[in-house]
Structure 1
Amino acid sequence: MAARAKVSLLVLIMSLVSYMVGTTESSITPTEFIRSSCEATSYPALCVQCLTGYASAIGQSDQQLAITAISVSISRTQLSASFVNTMSKSRGIKQREYRAMQDCIENMADSLDRLSKSVTELGNIGHAVGEDFRWHMSNVQTWVSAALTDDDSCLDGFTDLFMNENVKAAIKDKVVNVAQVTSNALALVNRFASNHRTAETP
């Protein structure tokens, strides 16, 4: 009877622990998951602002979070490139200013190409593990990092450029926002890679 009672008590305790763990996991909403994950970024408030609208699609997936963050960066980059292109056609734009804007547009085009490849690569990871996973992630990290460098290169073109201060400020605001969003995406990519490696470690 004593042995049977001990077994029953053990089963009860294990069931209780299992219930508590399940309750804890289910109590973490996708929005809370995003907020927690965004703490790993340089611009957490912007990160939360950009990603909470996609909470249902992200769920609690580090991979989907990284994919969504890069997708948001793609969208912001496209809008900024379009804005700079419009500004380059404004009246009174000097040749030097026009050239700086075109260089910026080219940089953002390169950034878009790299970010798009990164989304595809993340989608192709599937259930990859070990060296296969690290190879895919290395590609993504390299491309997103290069996309961030493209954003910085765009900004460099306006550092000492003499142009209408309002136009200059408007362009810089757009590109800085893109750079911050891309920086956050890179941080979430790195977080995904780190968490996956930790999960693989026995």
Structure 2
Amino acid sequence: MNPISSLVFVLLLTVFPTQIFCQNLIAQACGYTSYKPLCLSTLQSDSEAKSAKDLLTIAKVALKHAGTKAQAVNAEVKKQQGSATDEGLKQALSDCAENYGDAIDQIQSSTSALGSKKYNDVNTWVSAAMNDADSCNQGFEDQSVKSPITSSSTTFSQLCSNVLAITNHL
């Protein structure tokens, strides 16, 4: 490296050390996941993640986004319930609302466990939330109706998977 390049590099490190470190921390965390593009877009858009100093904070932010998505899916399910006319769809949506209600509770339990650094409990609760999402999806198949929430439900499961991958490296 020539002297001018070295000087520019050192200046960048002194001017932007936090930003460089945090972006590297996000990239490191997302490198553990199966859904890296989703992980990167989620964490890079979050100010708390962008200023994180450790992987635990990154895990907390990832879990927060999974919880937010669970609440959004649950709201979407309840909205769909109000307009459903097909009996099979009504039943599947009713079951799904219950499943996502449980998933929200489990994500909240995961958040408490993460705060207490009980990582095995986090994994248990997040896995249970993912199972609830799977049960919701299965309910539509059992009723032989098309799920109106497939995309949202898939994103929720992927966010949960990312949480598990990051938590496993704490």
Same fold (TM over 0.5): yes
TM range (shorter): 0.7 to 0.9
Q: 37, 53, 56: which is aligned to 2:45?
A: 53
Report the counterpart of residue 96 of structure 1 in structure 2. 88
CA distance in 2, matches of 1:102, 1:56: 35
Q: Structure 1 residue 56: deviation in Å?
A: 4.3
Measured on the aligned residues, the alpha-carbon RMSD in Å equals 2.1
Report the counterpart of residue 70 of structure 1 in structure 2. 63
Amino acid paired to 1:118: S
The Cα offsets for residues 67-110 of structure 1, whole Å up to 9 and x where unpaired, read as 1111100000101110011111115x222211111111111111
TM-score, normalised to structure 2, is 0.82
Moved more, 77-86 or 56-65: 56-65
- Identity of matched residues, %: 30
Q: Structure 1 residue 38: deviation in Å?
A: 0.4
Structure 2: gaps (5+ residues): 1-9
Question: 3-state SS of the aligned residue for 1:89?
Answer: helix
Q: How many residues align?
A: 155
CA distance in 2, matches of 1:37, 1:138: 18
Q: 84, 92, 108: which is aligned to 2:77?
A: 84
The Cα offsets for residues 138-194 of structure 1, whole Å up to 9 and x where unpaired, read as 21111111111111111111225444x5xx3x31111111111111111111122xx
Report the counterpart of residue 36 of structure 1 in structure 2. 28
Conserved? CA contact 1:30–1:56, under 8 Å: no
Conserved? CA contact 1:41–1:187, under 8 Å: yes
CA distance in 2, matches of 1:171, 1:39: 28
Report the counterpart of residue 171 of structure 1 in structure 2. 149
Conserved? CA contact 2:35–2:162, under 8 Å: yes
CA distance in 2, matches of 1:174, 1:44: 17
Conserved? CA contact 1:34–1:55, under 8 Å: no
Does the alignment pair 1:146 with 2:128?
yes
Amino acid paired to 2:68: S
Larger Rg: 1
Amino acid paired to 1:74: G
Q: Structure 1 residue 36: deviation in Å?
A: 2.1
CA distance in 2, matches of 1:103, 1:186: 25
